[in-house]
Structure 1
Amino acid sequence: MAEFEVATGAAALPGDDDRGREAAVRTAFEGLLQIRRLMNADAADPEGVPAEWERRQPVRAVALALEAAGVPPSAVDAEGRRTATGYCLGAAERAGVVRVEWLGPPGSGAGYAAEDALRNCADVLRRLGWDTLEYRGPRRHRYLEVEPPPAGPHRR
């Protein structure tokens, strides 16, 4: 069995068929929630606090959370051309922080949809205990920075 690959939106979409992909995402996300329940047993809401695994691999954890919530990933082809509209994740400038953008092919209207789409991404991630802030970069390009809350006593 091949290792499950998250869809970060920065590469080609994983090669699974749609039903197989949905099942794999659902299984991986349930595994993530189980890790949270075990690692955060002392928290009021164990599923609402990112686990240590997520803190060490935040891009993978955020990608899994977004895809499990039904948010589509963007994608690029072998030549690096964007082929799908959706979230695109990468490491931000600060360690442990994930940058979330809403990107699509030229003419897709992704820039116009970014505000609402990123707000939806932020809502999904906040429900799972992540801290999110929206920024505007050059040419008013919107993006989120996402990070786990500070370690220590659980906030929930």
Structure 2
Amino acid sequence: MTDAFEPASGDGAGPGDAPGRAAEVRAAFEALLAIRRVTSPAAADPEAVPAPWEVHRTVRAVSLALEASGLPASASAPDGRRTATGYRVAGGERPGTVRVEWLGPPGSGAAHEAEARLKGCARVLLGLGWEALLYRGPRGSRYLEVERGA
């Protein structure tokens, strides 16, 4: 029995370069687009309208979109230390929102590249019907707040 597919959220050990991972991500993303076409057939571009299930599983949907775009996910060791630089997707402060951060190990330069990298994440998400707003948090840290677009 194999484990169920989980998109990389940037927490935990991360997916690494497991054999077949790219094919799993591609298949999951194609399935997501197929669901969108079925649930929004009247839309001008049905693939750019998040499906209802995505809105209820926003962390998973946004993580899949970012991983499928080829952006790297962050990762952390069991003790919480960051071991890889990339995006991290977590539940937002409001229902139906997620927070996307750009994190990495100490000395990785992640904080210096965060704004540019988050803008890249926002471009991916905007193209898929999500609204992604860039904010400055405590101590100047940058993050995206993501929710379903209008």
- Give, in whole Å, the separation in 2 of the partners of 1:6 and 1:48: 19
Structure 1 equivalent of residue 61 of structure 2: 61
Query: Where in structure 1 are there 5+ consecutive unaligned residues?
Result: 151-156
Q: TM-score, with normalisation over the residues of structure 1?
A: 0.92
Provide the residue aligned with 1:6 in structure 2.
Answer: 7
Percentage identity across paired residues of the two chains: 60
Pairing of 1:63-102 with structure 2 (within 5 A) = 63-102=63-102
Structure 2 gap ranges (5+): none
Name whichever of 29-38 and 3-12 sits farther off. 3-12
Deviation of 1:20 (Å):
1.0
- Could you state the TM-score of these two structures normalised by the residue count of structure 2? 0.96
Matches of 2:16 and 2:123 in 1, distance apart? 28
Secondary structure of 2:89's partner? strand
- The equivalent residue for 2:50 is 50
Number of equivalenced pairs: 149
Question: What amino acid maps onto 2:102 in structure 1?
Answer: W
Give the Cα–Cα distance (whole angstroms) in 1 for the partners of residues 80 and 34 of structure 2.
36
Question: Alpha-carbon deviation of 1:14?
Answer: 2.8
**Runs of 4 or more consecutive aligned structure 1 residues displaced over 6 Å after TM superposition:** none
Equivalence map 1:1-156=2 (5 Å): 1-14=2-15, 17=18, 19-150=19-150
- State the Cα distance separating 1:97 from its structure 2 match: 0.2
The secondary structure found in structure 2 opposite 1:80 is: coil
Letter in 2 for 1:14: P
